[in-house]
Amino acid sequence: MSALLEVSGVSKSFDGFKAIDNLSFTVGEPELRAIIGPNGAGKTTFMDLVTGKTRPDSGSIRYGELSRDLTRMSEAQIARAGIGRKFQKPTVFEDQTVFENLAMALASPRSPWTVLTRRPSMETRAGEVAERVGLTAHMRRRAGVLSHGQKQWLEIGMLLAQEPRLLLVDEPAAGMTSAERERTTEMLVEAAKDHAVVVIEHDMEFVRRLNCRVTVLHEGRSLAEGSLDFVCADPRVIDVYLGRPEAGAEAEAEHA
């Protein structure tokens, strides 16, 4: 396992509010990692920084064997370099079919001219992805008519179709039934066998099932890192997060 993503000393503030404060974070390949933390801990900002949506005020974010500097790349370039992102709210293209959503995500040339003139059949590859996320029967349906859980899966499918090396997954189990959660866990654990997967989640049960290394974020800093049991035993973690899970969960729900 070697480091795929290296975030070192990154800070980002919005109007004086320090969303990320001198954060360092490393994830290897393959690895499954969960990031937990109360509302406002900087989890989503962290993802925005890695995917190029926001630029850090200081610090560096390096990726891959060539240690490419992600802070100098556009969102699309970062995505093409192999970093895929799943949003907290399912963001699929509701107006288009499941197949069209997957076809758009499938790893393939992205330049306008190539996309316009070369039109290889994507049925087989899209079918394989649909199989993995259990949407084979829904290929011809508009994504807008899918249930919430199916949309989450479609988005995970789109993530897999991109064939990224690093998957950033924001609250994949939000709003799912318990059976759907179980299925989602399987998908993520399966993906983590040959990818780097970072899951942001505040549902402890879900994190426990992932059975992986956990990083606790608080006020933009990394508070503790280790197995779930290890971090749960940390008094600081108990103080800021686990000590008042109800309040944390409620605030998070409001935020979502």
Partner 1 sequence: MTDATASAGRPTRITRGSPADHPSIRRPLIRRPDVLIFLAILALVTIGATVLAQTGHVSTSTVKLLGKTLCLCLAALAMDLVWGYTGILSLGHFAFFGIGGYAIGMWLMWDRTELIVLDTLARNPLPATPLEVQEAIGSQIFGVVGSTEIPWLWAFAGSLPLQLAAAVLVPGIVALIFGWLAFRSRVAGVYLSILTQAGTLALSLWLFQNDSGLRGNNGLSGLQNLPGLDHVPQSTISLWFLWASALALAGAYLLAAWTVAGRFGSVLRGIRDDEARVRFLGYEVEHYKLAIFTGTAMACGIAGALYYPQAGIVNPAEIAPIASIYLAVWVAIGGRGLLYGAVIGAAFVSLLSSWFTGGGAPDIDLGFYEIRWTDWWLVLLGLTFVLVTLFAPKGLGGLVDLWTERRSRRTSDLGPDEGALRAEEERP
x/- mask, partner 1, residues 89-128, rule CB under 8 A, reads --x-xxxxx-xx--xxx----xxxx-xx--x-xxx-----
Radius of gyration (Cα) for the chain, nearest Å? 18
Distance CA 116, CA 152 (A): 29
Q: Quick check: 149 binds partner 1 (CB under 8 A)?
A: yes
Helix 178-191 vs helix 148-161: angle between axes, to the nearest 10 degrees?
Answer: 10
The binder of partner 1 chosen from 12, 33, 138, 165 (CB under 8 A)? 138
Q: Put the strands of the sheet holding 17-29 in their side by side order.
A: 17-29, 2-14, 58-63, 68-69
Residues 6+ apart with CB under 8 A from 156: 86, 133, 169, 172, 184, 187, 188
- Say if residues 21 and 49 touch (Cβ distance below 8 Å): no
Nearest residue (CB) to partner 1, 176 versus 207: 176
Complex with partner 1: residue 181 or 218, whichever CB lies closer: 181
The residue among 147 and 211 lying less far from partner 1, judged by its C-beta, is 147
Compute the distance between CA of residue 233 and CA of residue 188 in angstroms, rounded to an integer: 26
CA nearest 24: which of 1, 3, 40? 3
Residue among 183, 209, 221, 244 that touches partner 1 (CB under 8 A): 183
Q: Which of 177, 227, 238, 256 binds partner 1 (CB under 8 A)?
A: 177
Give least dist CB 118 to partner 1, A. Answer: 9
Tell whether the torsion through CA atoms of 214, 61, 188 and 43 is positive or negative: positive
Of the candidates 227, 135, 141, the one whose C-alpha atom is nearest the C-alpha of residue 187 is 135
Site track 69-88 with partner 1 (rule: CB under 8 A), x = hit: -----xxx--xx---xx-x-
How near is the Cβ of 171 to partner 1 at its closest, in Å? 16
**1 lies in the site for partner 1, by CB under 8 A:** no
Q: How far apart are CA 165 and CA 163, in angstroms?
A: 7
Q: Which is nearer to partner 1, 206 or 241 (CB)?
A: 206
Residue 97: partners with Cβ closer than 8 Å, 6 or more residues away: 139, 140, 141, 142, 143
Question: Is the CB of 200 or the CB of 240 nearer to partner 1?
Answer: 200
How far apart are CB 217 and partner 1 at their closest, in Å?
A: 21
In order, the DSSP letters of 5-18 are EEEEEEEEEETTEE
Does 61 interact with partner 1 (rule: CB under 8 A)?
no
> Which range of residues in 7-15, 130-138, 192-200, 235-243 is near partner 1 by CB under 8 A?
130-138
* By CB under 8 A, residue 158 contacts partner 1: yes
Positions touching partner 1 (CB under 8 A) are: 51, 53, 74-76, 79-80, 84-85, 87, 91, 93-97, 99-100, 103-105, 110-113, 115-116, 119, 121-123, 134, 136-141, 145-150, 153, 158, 162, 176-177, 179-180, 183
